[in-house]
Structure 1
Amino acid sequence: MFFSSHVPFFRAVTAVQSFRMFARLSEWYNRPTLGSLDLLAEGLTAALGVEVYPPGAHIPNKLTIHDISRLSHSMMHIYNGEERIVVKFQAIISPGERRDVDITPGKKWTEMKESVRNQFNIHNVDVKFMSGERELQHFSDFENLNGAIVDVIQQPQHKYKLDPSLIAKKHNYNFTRKKDDRTVYTRGNYQYNRPYGWFRYAVAVKNVYGDDNTWLGSRGKRRIQTSDGEWPVSYHGTKMKNKGGFFATQTNIDESKIIDGVYSSPSLDIIDELYAEEFVHNRTKYKIAFQNRINPDIDGDHMKIISKQHTCDGAEYWVSPLEDQENKIYDVRPYGIIIKKIKTDNNPQNYTQLG
């Protein structure tokens, strides 16, 4: 009687345990893995503000390294009190919503569009300008429109496909289980802060900028010292561009130290804290940021340094004032995309903001 009365209970407990074990194994098997292209596509969608689909999607446009640069770079524009108004017009984006807009000499067309998007607080769409039935496509189109009303038309997001050829998979590296052992690494004669705790997708950049790949340095596992002609490593996150960015965190910065150009930092800690974009994939939260090589030619004005003594957050920033894709000046070259898991939670209510 003792054994027969307890066997059904024992079997019931075993069945429940088996079900739970199966559920956990199923969840483990189907978990998003660091290194997967599906995860990367979701992260790039959050970071770049465009729709990036995983491989296999029927999307004609393949995401390129130049798209990543164009969509993620944080261009800052400071005029230092110089005379800058050539044409002032009123931009209307919807009934009752209008802004005064200045046309600035010496700036690119894409930069003027970015200025308008910032004024209207729209960042994930392209815009075009219409005067009546005529589309305004060049600065010269505005010459006779001083004080006029110009319609700002929002255009749909671009869609891209993440092609496997964008990633040099054999150079991916998992830093999630690596610990900082206080070894000092250098790249381009500057300290290189390895992305401990992150998974790095290596972008296929070899020969993208010409046959000379010296800027990448020599290959080798756990290489500590820099090699001749190598460029230093910096990081950037797209919150530097899309959410007020650098200047929102530098309220007390000396204006004389602010420089026009693309901003990044050798400090991954500050990018993680302030600028890395968050996203959710399969009910798990992640952060995404970009790892760059920077042209270190200070004498030629390709690189300027804002020391940590002049920033509110105590981090050093590097500025690349001559970066200009339109004229094939590539001083900021993303060569890695880094992602890390920041939280796992089974409560779906915690994901409504990041969805």
Structure 2
Amino acid sequence: MIVDANVRFEALSALLGTKITSLSGGNPWKAAPALSVDDFFIQLILNKKTSYAEEFFIDEKEFFDPGYDFDFTNLSDSAACMRGNEPYVRPKGWYRMALKVRGKYLDGDAWLGTNGWRSYSVPGEWPVSYHGTGLEGARGIIRTHYKAGDGQQFGRGIYSTPKLNEAEKYCKTFKSKFTGKTYKVIMQNRIKPEKRQIIGNYWLIPVLAGTSAEEEKRIAESSIRPYGVLIKEM
């Protein structure tokens, strides 16, 4: 599977619900703000807008890391894998667009583990989680509450799931203007195991009501980090 450059931006736009295009198309600095990986993720999971712009631009060289892209679309093996001492089922049928996160955090890159194929976890690695909904879908698996089948609500915070098929229930879909094809899109993250609560198929990072915006951002960045956007042709 080859992901057209324009489709990459359509996928980000679908996730955030706001148009996102490339800085390479000109000099849009006066027209709209640039969006970093951090800003994109914080807006997505915490509904914290850094501006009221209706369009954002990103610097592709600072946002994507294509050297770590991986095509799972024709994956045939079912080898058992572990990441962060948790089972990791590789996302068969999806293509991962890697985000540029290596060297980004002061505590280093151990949370990502080592690069390349391996079936085992390495020290300091965080397990993998997914979420697949945008801001208007917060009743699902992110931001405030997850409503279980019996109507119970669990705590306020950031929800994700280690089960891709569960996240897929809430995934965003879009039809590309460039290819005419329809795609699904989901975020792939790593989550710090010490910061999560396990609730059935979901992992919750608690964020108490009344927490300041600055503290919410600190909690998010120290607990859950994106490293890929998964896309699948329908």
Return the TM-score normalized by structure 1.
0.56
Query: Equivalent residue for 1:48?
Result: 16
Tell me by how many angstroms 1:156 deviates: 4.4
Tell me by how many angstroms 1:54 deviates: 3.1
1:193 to 89, 93, 114: 89
Query: Equivalent residue for 2:204?
Result: 319
Residue pair 2:15, 2:185 contacting (<8 A) in 1 also: yes
User: 3-state SS of the aligned residue for 1:330?
Assistant: helix
Q: Distance in 1 between matches of 2:54 and 2:218?
A: 21
- Which residue identity does 1:286 align to in structure 2? Y
CA gap of 1:327–1:320, structure 2 versus 1, over 3 A, is closer
| Residue-by-residue CA offset, 1:148-180 (whole Å, 9 max, x unaligned) | xxxxxxx5424223423311111100001113x
Query: Equivalent residue for 1:174?
Result: 71
Residue pair 1:74, 1:238 contacting (<8 A) in 2 also: no
- Which residue identity does 1:214 align to in structure 2? A
CA gap of 1:74–1:336, structure 2 versus 1, over 3 A, is same
Residue pair 1:167, 1:201 contacting (<8 A) in 2 also: yes
Residue pair 1:324, 1:330 contacting (<8 A) in 2 also: no
Report whether the alignment pairs 1:34 with 2:6.
no
Query: Equivalent residue for 1:66?
Result: 38
2:119 to 202, 214, 224: 224
Runs of 4+ aligned structure 1 residues displaced above 6 Å come to: none
1:245 to 129, 140, 146: 140
Residue pair 2:36, 2:62 contacting (<8 A) in 1 also: no
Query: Equivalent residue for 1:280?
Result: 175
Report whether the alignment pairs 1:165 with 2:58.
no
What is the number of residues matched between the two proteins?
217
Tell me by how many angstroms 1:259 deviates: 1.8
Q: Distance in 2 between matches of 1:67 and 1:218?
A: 26
User: 3-state SS of the aligned residue for 2:10?
Assistant: helix
Report whether the alignment pairs 1:334 with 2:232.
no
Tell me by how many angstroms 1:232 deviates: 0.2
Residue pair 1:41, 1:162 contacting (<8 A) in 2 also: no
Structure having the higher Rg: 1
Q: Distance in 1 between matches of 2:220 and 2:91?
A: 29
2:110 to 194, 214, 229: 214
Q: Distance in 1 between matches of 2:147 and 2:75?
A: 30
Question: Structure 2: which 5+ residue stretches go unaligned?
Answer: 208-214
Q: Distance in 2 between matches of 1:63 and 1:303?
A: 27
- Which residue identity does 2:171 align to in structure 1? A
Question: Structure 1: which 5+ residue stretches go unaligned?
Answer: 1-32, 76-109, 115-124, 127-154, 308-315, 343-355
Q: Distance in 1 between matches of 2:149 and 2:87?
A: 27
Residue pair 2:18, 2:54 contacting (<8 A) in 1 also: yes
Question: Root-mean-square deviation (CA), in Å?
Answer: 2.5
- Which residue identity does 1:40 align to in structure 2? R
Tell me by how many angstroms 1:319 deviates: 0.8
| Residue-by-residue CA offset, 1:271-316 (whole Å, 9 max, x unaligned) | 11x211001113110011100000111xxxx110002xxxxxxxx1
Query: Equivalent residue for 2:212?
Result: none
- Over the matched positions of the two proteins, sequence identity in percent amounts to 30
